[in-house]
């Protein structure tokens, strides 16, 4: 079980206030909500990259087993393959090189293996950031809008790759997304945020069919993509 209490303010203004939440291990949670609702703040707090008041308890999962993909993607100023190798863990070099190439192929990036990653396009950089993260071995993944800059083909491929990762090892995934189609396709539960508060956490099918909070209902009424 993962338990979370987070209070975060910037300049004395609260931006996230969530209390005594519990999450089941091995499930996929989609974080949805408008701009500024607190999705990234939630993920940054979980990843422990910002200071906050409260506590996150990941049970037996060690900090090194938590993988975080920030919303602002970046690539290191070295080859695409070099970027991958930074996250090769304890693999032997030969295995790491082979597996890195296999994973790059799944993201349609293998042809850029020798290219300097700083020269990739915006979407390619995002694909590489996700690919590099999925080269690691994590028990909890925190993905902040992992496909926001991707075209639809790349998005569907990235979703397949995420699913493959999850099916190959027990992993809990928290993923912020503005794509309700994506939330519906991937998640077991939807977490709906507004104004730094979680208004609803509901099993995905039920959330899209019949959300219990008025706020989520209104939010869904503005969407047609699911």
Ligand X SMILES: Nc1ncnc2c1ncn2[C@@H]1O[C@H](COP(=O)(O)OP(=O)(O)OP(=O)(O)O)[C@@H](O)[C@H]1O
The one among 32, 37, 155, 166 contacting ligand X by CB under 6 A:
37
Q: How far is the CB of 51 from ligand X (least distance, A)?
A: 11
Nearer to Mg ion, 40 or 147 (CB): 40
The one among 6, 23, 29, 41 contacting ligand X by CB under 6 A:
41
118 Cβ contact partners less than 8 Å away, ≥ 6 residues apart: 75, 76, 77
Residue 17 Cα distances to 122, 161, 222, angstroms: 32, 32, 25
The one among 2, 18, 23, 39 contacting ligand X by CB under 6 A:
39
Which spans in the chain are helix H? 39-46, 80-85, 93-106, 122-134, 152-168, 180-186, 204-209, 214-221
Q: Contact between 179 and ligand X (CB under 6 A)?
A: no
Q: Contact between 75 and ligand X (CB under 6 A)?
A: no
Among 62, 69, 19, smallest CA distance to 174 is for 69
Q: How far is the CB of 15 from ligand X (least distance, A)?
A: 4
Q: Contact between 168 and ligand X (CB under 6 A)?
A: no
98 Cβ contact partners less than 8 Å away, ≥ 6 residues apart: none
Question: Which residue stretch of 34-42, 128-136, 155-163, 207-215 sits at the interface with ligand X (rule: CB under 6 A)?
Answer: 34-42
Q: Which does 36 bind (CB under 5 to 8 A by kind): Mg ion, ligand X, none?
A: ligand X
Q: How far apart are the first and last CA of the chain?
A: 30
Q: Contact between 15 and ligand X (CB under 6 A)?
A: yes
Q: Contact between 127 and ligand X (CB under 6 A)?
A: no
Provide the angle, in degrees to the nearest 10, between the axes of the packed helices 122-134 and 93-106. Answer: 130
Where on the chain is the footprint of ligand X (CB under 6 A)?
10, 15, 33, 35-41, 71
């Amino acid at each position: 079980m993962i338990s979370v209490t987070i209070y975060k303010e910037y300049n004395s203004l609260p931006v996230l206030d969530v209390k005594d939440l519990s999450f089941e291990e091995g499930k996929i949670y989609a974080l949805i909500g408008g701009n500024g609702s607190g999705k990234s703040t939630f993920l940054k707090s979980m990843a422990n990259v910002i200071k906050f008041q409260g506590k996150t308890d990941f049970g037996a999962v060690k900090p090194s087993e938590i993988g975080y993909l920030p919303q602002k993607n970046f690539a290191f100023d070295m080859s695409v393959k070099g970027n991958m190798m930074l996250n090769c863990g304890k693999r032997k070099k030969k295995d790491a090189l082979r597996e890195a190439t296999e994973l790059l192929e799944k993201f349609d990036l293998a042809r850029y293996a020798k290219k300097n990653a700083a020269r990739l396009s915006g979407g390619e950089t995002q694909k590489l950031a996700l690919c590099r993260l999925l080269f690691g071995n994590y028990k909890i993944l925190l993905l902040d809008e992992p496909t926001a800059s991707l075209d639809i083909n790349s998005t569907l491929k990235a979703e397949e790759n995420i699913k493959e990762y999850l099916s190959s090892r027990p992993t809990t995934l928290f993923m912020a997304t503005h794509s309700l189609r994506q939330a519906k396709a991937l998640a077991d539960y939807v977490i709906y945020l507004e104004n730094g508060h979680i208004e609803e956490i509901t099993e995905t099918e039920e959330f899209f069919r019949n959300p219990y909070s008025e706020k989520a209902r209104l939010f869904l009424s503005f969407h047609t993509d699911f």
